[in-house]
Structure 1
Amino acid sequence: MNSRYEILNVIGSGSYGIVYLCNDLNSKENRVVKQLRPSKCRSKKEIELFQHEISIMRSLNHINIPIIYDASSNNEYFFYVMGFIEGDNLEDQIFLSKKTFGEKESLIILDKLLELVDYLHKKNIYHRDLRIPNIILKNNEPFLIDFGLSVQSAIHSPSTSLHIKQESIIQEMKHQDYYDLGELLLYLLYTTYSSKNKKALPWTEELSLEKGTVNLLKRLLQINEPYTSICEISADLHAALKAKEKVH
């Protein structure tokens, strides 16, 4: 870490990297610094993955995704600097703050997340890690973080067989993001559930949901016919929201 950034706190730590809250001594603003673990710096593959993450972050320009300001490396360390979003991630809000989300509120959050995923997919970027620790909620606005597992698909191959293979991989990554959105929605919906049975039941029996929300979840989670596009998801999502608004 160079002398420009003063470490205030460790705000995240995993096998891959360490995330610090820092003070930028030049701008006097708080920044988030993600550093590749020193033990990973000996691996060419790990360095390439980290640089790929930086490359993806540099290509993004969305108000609900952190801005990357700086990236640096030498033989001992690799890190990049991004904007600090003041807020708690969904995991902490749900499990530490015991925040609850009603059906309508959950659908509205999903709608905003869907817009973010659509933005990424239009850039051929697939997040592949849409989990509650990677969503920060600030003033009911979801912000998407951690692009460590993200992939940007390559330009299509002129070879027919390779093109078909590429298309198959892209569809798989799309469906992974759609499935993750379904799991996120389920997490939000379960925050208002209090178990009355000792025996765990399927969510279809435990949760009392509008028909449109059940249909949305079943297709996102690939229980029923999987979605093929964001437009399809959006249409069903807005229909579910409309139905929920009519009830109330």
Structure 2
Amino acid sequence: MRKVSILRSFRKIYQSIVDIPIKEGTILNNRYEVLSVIGTGSYGIVYLCNDLKSKENRVVKQLRPSKRRNKKEVELFQSETSVLHTLNHKNMPILYEGFSNNEYFFYAMSFIEGDNLEDQIFISKKTFNEKESLLILDQLLELVEYLHKNGIYHQDLRIPNILLNNNEPFLIDFGLSKQRVSFDAFQSPPSFSHNKQEGILEMKQQDYYDLGEILLYLLYTTYSSKNKKALPWTEELSLEKGTVYLLKRLLRIKEPYSNISEISADLHAALKAKEKVH
């Protein structure tokens, strides 16, 4: 354990020395002028840039310098670029190009206006009632359905990765996304085909579970704790039966959902019930 702890300490020191953000005013790929750092993740640094060619704001993501010699990390970064290249949705980033400079890896994408849900909830103290929360989920479900139909599974649906602009959600950060690899079932052993389908279902249900957690975050924005003792959400939140049922299946407390259509049906039933009450 002590050896592991020492290695982690050395790694952190190394990263603090090597992973210094690029200075403001630096021109990347003879095109993107760095304006500011707008985010840092476990393996990337994200910059707001001025595109000198189009005169528009762009986002440039850089693979952390400390990871550029790690083959696995480079492959993950390239995989994210590949996923972005396949996207064609107004509520998701547009990839413009990938490029490298002295073995440093980057890609440029569109800049999306908006603050992420995490900041809106915890900094701006924005609240969402039950109906508003369900409506946000409905929009997110449409984005997830688009991804799944295109063989993409986000696997990191969290409130920091959702931007909100005029109550319309935009999905970002595809660093952990997985793409379905096409295969010919007729040329594959039955066991391989079965395992493949099981893996796809597992990835779908991970995205569904994450949607359930996002819904919980939204619902808790209007909750005021009266008890010192923390209670389960089923006791703390006063929700319509349909919303409780939806959450329990998303969070795998009850039988988990196997497809988007099932979720959509229960979501719209919950919305309808909410409208009847009011």
TM range (shorter): over 0.9
- Whole-Å separation in 1 of the counterparts to 2:242 and 2:36: 44
- The one of 85, 109, 117 equivalent to 1:90 is 117
- The one of 244, 247, 252 equivalent to 1:214 is 244
Counterpart for residue 231 of structure 2? 201
- The one of 123, 136, 150 equivalent to 1:123 is 150
Measured after TM superposition, the shift of residue 74 of structure 1 is 3.8
Counterpart for residue 35 of structure 1? 62
Correspondences of 1:1-248 after superposition (within 5 Å): 1-156=28-183, 157=185, 158-248=188-278
- Whole-Å separation in 2 of the counterparts to 1:75 and 1:177: 36
Q: Give the letter for the 2:70 counterpart.
A: S
Query: How many equivalent residue pairs?
Result: 248
**CA deviation profile, 1:208-244 (whole Å, cap 9, x unmatched):** 0000000000000000010010000000000000000
User: Please, which runs of 5 or more residues in structure 2 have no aligned partner?
Assistant: 1-27
Contact 2:29-2:101 at 8 Å conserved across structures = no
- Whole-Å separation in 2 of the counterparts to 1:28 and 1:159: 53
**CA deviation profile, 1:110-145 (whole Å, cap 9, x unmatched):** 000000000000011100000000000001110000
| TM-score between both structures, scaled by the size of structure 2 | 0.88
CA 1:46–1:237: 2 relative to 1, 3 Å: same
| TM-score between both structures, scaled by the size of structure 1 | 0.98
Percent of aligned pairs with the same residue? 76
Runs of 4+ in structure 1 deviating by more than 3 angstroms, as ranges, are none
- Whole-Å separation in 2 of the counterparts to 1:165 and 1:19: 36
- Whole-Å separation in 1 of the counterparts to 2:102 and 2:154: 29
- Whole-Å separation in 1 of the counterparts to 2:159 and 2:42: 18
Question: Which has the greater radius of gyration?
Answer: 2
Q: Secondary structure at the match of 2:204?
A: helix
- Whole-Å separation in 2 of the counterparts to 1:194 and 1:8: 40
- Whole-Å separation in 1 of the counterparts to 2:129 and 2:60: 34
The answer to which structure, 1 or 2, has the higher relative contact order (CA under 8 A, 6+ apart) is: 1
Counterpart for residue 21 of structure 2? none
Which stretch has the larger CA shift, 187-196 or 38-47?
Answer: 38-47
User: Please, which runs of 5 or more residues in structure 1 have no aligned partner?
Assistant: none
Q: Give the letter for the 2:157 counterpart.
A: L
**CA RMSD of superposed structures (Å):** 0.9
Q: Secondary structure at the match of 1:208?
A: coil
